[in-house]
Amino acid sequence: MRVLEPVVLPVGGLSRGRFDRLTRWMHWTTVFLVVFQFASGWSFALAEGTPLFAPLLLLHRSSGATVWAITALRFAWRSSLAHFPPFPGDLPRVMEWAAKTSERALYLLLVCEPLAGFADSAWRGRPFDLFVWSVPVLVPRDIALAELFHQIHVWGAVALAGLACAHAAAALFHHFILKDDVLEAMLPWAARR
């Protein structure tokens, strides 16, 4: 990861720059997929016992695997060629610490949530579909372990929802209250000030 140097603008002030295009694409793709994950997960109760349940579960599992893969790609990109703007110079240290800590927690949940869902499916001891493939039985059936991983998956989703909302609220706080360019640095389009 390379932190960009701020650029002095001709009209005064600093431009911290933006996150690189691939980082922004992975961020917003993850946002879209996580929103779909919540919507599909909460729809299971409504779809259970209907013909919609199996395709909804397939899409939920497959998009969860995609979230995991994109998160792995984000780690690789971050540690190599990614470009990050620096934190605003006047940002209090506690806010910088909170941003870094919440970001690490989000990444941890984006890795662990799909793994907990996969473990839940695997410990049910039957094949299941993922994308266009059928995953064979990987471990003997253990409903107690499947239920444990299901609960971990549910509570992880609650934690992820809370952190994602706090993350979005922080971006809006920067934009509307602090009036800095933190939000614009990650927008998929170039914002005009």
Give the residue from 27, 23, 35, 18 showing the smallest Cα distance to 165. 35
Read off the pLDDT of each residue in 40-46 and give the average, rounded to a whole number.
94
pLDDT band (50, 70, 90) for residue 16: confident
Considering only 57-66, 85-94, 127-136, 168-177, which range has the smallest mean pLDDT?
85-94
pLDDT at 7 over 60: no
In sequence order, the 6+-apart residues with CB closer than 8 A to the CB of 6 are 14, 15, 16, 17, 85, 86, 89
pLDDT at 14: 53
pLDDT at 2 over 70: no
Residue ranges and CATH numbers for the domains of the chain are 17-186 (1.20.950.20)
Mean pLDDT of the chain: 92
Read off the pLDDT of each residue in 73-78 and give the average, rounded to a whole number.
95
pTM to 2 decimals? 0.89
pLDDT at 12 over 60: no
| Cβ atoms of 187 and 172 closer than 8 Å | no
